Amino acid sequence: MRIAIAGGSGSLGRALADALRAAGHEVVTLLRAEPTRPGERRWDPEAGHIHGPGLSDVDAVVNLAGEPIAQRWTPAAKQRIAASRLMATLTIVAALEPDGRCQRLLNGSSCAIYGDPGVDYVDEDSPVHASGFLARVCVDWETSARHAPVPTVLLRSGHVLSPGAPFGFGPPGFRGGLNVRVGDGRQWVPWIHLDDWLAAVLALLSSPVEGPVNLTSPEPVQHDDLLRAMGRHGGRAASFTWPRLALVARFGDEVVREVLGTSVRALPRVLLEQGFAFAHPSVDAAMADLLTAQRAG
């Protein structure tokens, strides 16, 4: 397959491009800058334009484009975070044709769309709650993607744990995003190992599945259990928790509360029904693998 990736310069986009190429696929990366190597194509989502043949010469497109969440949410930043996702998605949707070569859109989203359901399990059939900023962004993001004239999957990702940043969350940046204790630590964390995230996206590219799909481990954990797993497998550096006040001072209370303080006990019902086999279903297995990969790197 020939697959276009929007947001290919981010860590997930780069990892996905490598995984696709390793699986024998051809990758077209959409970039705002002038292309400097084969396989790159310029686009201007603010103007709603994809240069060259647009998306007419690809079989599928994965849209991960959007302004980083990890910043202080000033009014201007909120506008950029929301608008970047909407403009990118609408540009891609407008470039698709119902009878064209590209017949698959995988569009980014997040488990933040469920709001804060607390201890109750949520899956793809659960109602969404646009009660916070991130949840509202995800609702609008998915609504834009649903206008696509081709089969569309909405990738509701949890926290993606990767070898480069499974542990480090604290000033000066978010990185892994999880080793800070917010509240009583009993909130549920939707998470997934990078390997499983990549394998799920590759599987969904050739699957008949449409609509929302939770990209999360089948074994969500409470935040304190995640911190203990970090300590078991990452040593003292990983078990150190950043003071909440330090993060609030840098990013603001709203960011810390919505990114880490909400409780989302998400289950990947659709993936499990499709027979998807997780390589790292438990947080202990995931942390052990990530630490091994981190040391090897």
Q: Could you report the per-residue pLDDT of 200-237, keeping only the tens digit for each?
A: 999 999 999 999 999 999 999 998 888 888 778 765 55
pLDDT at residue 171, as a whole number = 33
Q: Could you report the per-residue pLDDT of 173-200, keeping only the tens digit for each?
A: 334 456 666 777 888 999 999 999 999 9
- What's the average model confidence in pLDDT over 77-81? 97
Percentage of the residues of the chain whose pLDDT score is greater than 70? 90
- What's the average model confidence in pLDDT over 286-293? 82
pLDDT at residue 223, as a whole number = 86
Specify the pTM: 0.92
Q: Could you report the per-residue pLDDT of 39-69, keeping only the tens digit for each?
A: 999 999 999 999 999 999 999 999 999 999 8
What lies within 8 Å, CB to CB, of 74 at 6+ separation is: none
Q: Could you report the per-residue pLDDT of 121-159, keeping only the tens digit for each?
A: 999 999 997 789 999 999 999 999 999 999 999 999 998
Q: Can you spell out the DSSP letters for the chain?
A: -EEEEETTTSHHHHHHHHHHHHTT-EEEEEESSPP-STTEEEEETTTTEE-TTTTTT-SEEEE-----SSS---HHHHHHHHHHHHHHHHHHHHH--TTSS---EEEEEEGGGG---TTSEE-TTSPP---SHHHHHHHHHHHHHTT-SS-EEEEEE-EEE-TTSSS--BTTB-TT--SB--TTS-SEE-EEEHHHHHHHHHHHHTS---EEEEES-SS-EEHHHHHHHHHHHHHHHHH--B-HHHHHHHH-HHHHIIIIIS--EE--HHHHHTT---S--SHHHHHHHHHHHHHH-
